[in-house]
Structure 1
Amino acid sequence: MAVAGHDRCVIAIRPENIDAWLNPDPHHLSDMCVILDDPVDAYYQYELVSKEAE
């Protein structure tokens, strides 16, 4: 069976950081790293839906 997924994932940012993330201040781009360092806790799982997917 092939490994599920890929080498990218969603990083769920906190709701209070959405405006800052979508409208970054070009003079304070390091603030974006602070936002990424404080993600919402999330759990993702997958299920095999077809034997043909193997």
Structure 2
Amino acid sequence: MAVSEGKSLKAFIENLLITEAKTMNDEDLYRHLVETRPEGKVYLSDKEKEDFEKSLGI
């Protein structure tokens, strides 16, 4: 397909990703991530929070 459009493979893939990103619905993407990657909904323990803040120098 890239050759038929007169593009390099890199340019073709970049264009494909940009087009796909524009058509994505944020709500659907968030719903999918919550269902398939629930670790983002888990809160840090106090120890983890302290360690993270310490690593940032807060």
TM-based fold match above 0.5: no
Which structure has more RCO (C-alpha within 8 Å, separation ≥ 6)? 1
Shorter-chain TM-score: what band?
A: under 0.3
Question: Larger Cα Rg: Structure 1 or Structure 2?
Answer: 2
